[in-house]
Amino acid sequence: MSSSFFRRLPLLLRIALEKSILALLEGRRSFLSHTPPPLILHLTLSQSEAYPPFSDWDEQSHPYYLPFLSTDDCKIISDRYLQQTSAEIVYFDHCLKENSAPPFLKPEWSPELWLNVDILFGAAFNAAYLKRLAYQGDEKLIARAVLQAKHIEHVSTVMVQTESYPWQNTELTCRHRQNVQDYLNLIGREVDTIDVRPNGSLCLKWKPLEAMVSIIIPNRDNLYLLKRCIESIYASTAYPSYEILVVDDHSTDPRVQDYYRKMQEEKANFRVLEGKRPFNFSYACNQGAKHASGEYLLFLNNDTEVLDAEWLNALVGTANLPGVGAVGAKLIYPNGKVQHAGVVIGLEGHASHVFQGVSDDPFTPYGHVDWMRNVSAVTAACMLVRKEAFWQIGGFDEQFQIAFGDIDFCLRLGDAGYRIVYTPDVTLIHHEGKSRGKYIPPHDIRAKADYLLQKVALGDPYYHLALSRAWRIPTLRWRWEQDPVERLKKIIRYYG
């Protein structure tokens, strides 16, 4: 064995040990048994109206209003947590009365997550702000409060405890659905329906748009994979306005060339671009974008399969929300287990796919797999981007040949003020690694290391600090876990 293997061995052993211990202990943990919330808010169906009534609230004595709480309880919370904030809305983490159930450790403000589940349940509203809006009319009050708030703040403390979560309560789900509908009306985004998923969250069914989408697929040979991918697009896409651009990387298989000719003859919306360099995924994506006609760019791996006719409409509808720059899909392995449900920065190194390997839709301290949510990054195996936003940040950084280019792209998109969204309403099969294997060039590990280390040190704003960075299945963090920055430094040193 090489000397490099022995240098890496302590890191490999520690990573394996951390995962093993987390997997062993997770089922035996009594959640929050050592940190009971300072305030218990009991949710019952009889609390259909806020208590005390907002019209009777004295904002001079109590600057923040918390529905369902007495003025004495509000004063306790205000004194402990609301003295130093100027936010219009402040929300807290949430747990159930049964402490064997996972708490809900919320992210920083996530507009698209709020469109799915009411993360503002139990929140404190600046009373003067709310009354000012109420004077303008009571209609759509909560939706207007969310839309017009300049600052919505998250306090990383479990303060709300109930018998069940809001999305498990039919009355509260209906109320939240109306607030979401009001919000969408205010921002001018139309949905056909707002359904409720089996896990209780809201599912937005967007009205079809007419914006052109350019589907960009890098490829080299692999006729079987490419053909399956493209045939699934044509067979399972209801969205009318799209084109397919295959960016070919020096394919040598004559059957692939024959397939290209056949498709270009039969399909007016199918084109092939010849690559001019040795394979570089970032370069291929940029070349496709330069020749794209669409208002939206969809980067798609050739080892994916489309499953649902509404997939493209769901991606475009989500990307059409104000401030959204990129949208990623739920990707599953052929056996149905999750391959991608968003990316967490600092998870197991640079960044990793949260929920990878999970079956079904379990509830975790991070929430369910099947929740639309804001994330720091999504994989470019299926990523829809506004073309305007793409070129605003200069596209993909071609320093990254195969790996981490999509992570870097999404982080820079976030730096430019755009939000990244993961949606479970688009599910594709991903035969991960079938086209080019799972090899990561050392250069990709070293590229922009200082930038990525800085992002890991800051922490992922959409992944609570109390969640483990050592395991892709969301669970509570343990004190003995390796610091994410130190782990990444060792990975760069040993593998870069």
8 Å CB contact between 226 and 219: yes
CA 398 vs CA 282, 285, 401, 408, 416: distances in Å: 5, 10, 6, 11, 19
**pLDDT > 50? residue 33:** no
Rounded to an integer, the average pLDDT of 259-269 is 96
Q: With bands split at pLDDT 50, 70 and 90, how would you rate the model's confidence at 57?
A: confident
**pLDDT > 50? residue 44:** no
Token code pair at residue 18: 């951390």
Taking CA 111 as the corner, what is the angle to CA 314 and CA 471, rounded to the nearest 5 degrees? Answer: 85
pLDDT computed for residue 440 by the predictor: 76
In whole angstroms, what is the distance from residue 444 CA to residue 170 CA? 48
Percent of the chain with pLDDT over 90: 67
In whole angstroms, what is the distance from residue 62 CA to residue 54 CA? 12
In whole angstroms, what is the distance from residue 141 CA to residue 161 CA? 25
Site of tokens 């399972």: 236
Percent of the chain with pLDDT over 70: 86
8 Å CB contact between 328 and 375: yes
8 Å CB contact between 285 and 394: no
Q: Tens digit of pLDDT for each residue in 199-254? A: 999 999 999 999 999 999 999 999 999 999 999 999 999 999 999 999 998 888 99
Beta strand 419-430 pairing with 373-375: antiparallel
Rounded to an integer, the average pLDDT of 114-131 is 93
**pLDDT > 50? residue 350:** yes
- Provide the angle, in degrees to the nearest 10, between the axes of the packed helices 484-495 and 449-458: 160
In whole angstroms, what is the distance from residue 260 CA to residue 286 CA? 21
Site of tokens 């409060």: 145
Q: Read off the amino acid at residue 411.
A: L
**pLDDT > 60? residue 51:** no
**pLDDT > 90? residue 21:** no
Distance of CA 34 to the CA centre of its chain: 30
pLDDT computed for residue 64 by the predictor: 86
Burial 155-190 (b: 16+ CB within 10 A, else e): beebbbbbeebbbebeebbebbeebbbbbbeeeebe
Q: Tens digit of pLDDT for each residue in 284-295? A: 999 999 999 999
pLDDT computed for residue 76 by the predictor: 77
pLDDT computed for residue 39 by the predictor: 53
Torsion of CA 243, 247, 252, 255, to 10 degrees: -10
Give pTM, 2 decimals: 0.91
From the list 374, 322, 344, the residue with the least C-alpha distance to 186 is 322
The dihedrals phi and psi of 25, each to the nearest 5 degrees, come to -85, -20
pLDDT computed for residue 200 by the predictor: 97
User: Which of 17-26, 192-201, 225-234, 479-488 is the least confident region?
Assistant: 17-26
Please give the mean pLDDT across all residues of the chain: 88
Could you confirm whether domain 213-495 is CATH 3.90.550.10? yes
In whole angstroms, what is the distance from residue 360 CA to residue 355 CA? 10
Q: Tens digit of pLDDT for each residue in 398-410? A: 999 988 999 999 9
Of 159-163, 218-222, 263-267, highest mean pLDDT: 263-267
In the DSSP assignment, the letter for residue 166 is: G
pLDDT computed for residue 249 by the predictor: 87
pLDDT computed for residue 262 by the predictor: 97
The better pLDDT of the pair 380, 64 is held by 380
Rounded to an integer, the average pLDDT of 452-461 is 96
CB atoms within 10 A of CB 342: 27
Q: Please enumerate in sequence order all residues whose Cβ is within 8 A of that of 178, keeping only pairs 6 or more positions apart, or say none.
A: none
**pLDDT > 50? residue 193:** yes
Q: With bands split at pLDDT 50, 70 and 90, how would you rate the model's confidence at 137?
A: confident
* Residues composing the chain: 496
- Could you list the beta-strand ranges (E) of 283-323: 296-300, 304-306
Q: With bands split at pLDDT 50, 70 and 90, how would you rate the model's confidence at 73?
A: confident
Domain with CATH 3.90.550.10 in the chain: 213-495
8 Å CB contact between 260 and 246: yes
pLDDT computed for residue 277 by the predictor: 72
pLDDT computed for residue 43 by the predictor: 45
User: Which of 5-14, 152-161, 409-418 is the least confident region?
Assistant: 5-14
Q: Please enumerate in sequence order all residues whose Cβ is within 8 A of that of 314, keeping only pairs 6 or more positions apart, or say none.
A: 206, 423, 425, 426
In whole angstroms, what is the distance from residue 76 CA to residue 39 CA? 9
8 Å CB contact between 401 and 443: yes
8 Å CB contact between 405 and 397: yes
Residues forming beta bridges with residue 205, ordered by sequence position: 193
pLDDT computed for residue 436 by the predictor: 54
**pLDDT > 50? residue 46:** no
**pLDDT > 70? residue 13:** no
In whole angstroms, what is the distance from residue 349 CA to residue 455 CA? 12
pLDDT computed for residue 10 by the predictor: 54
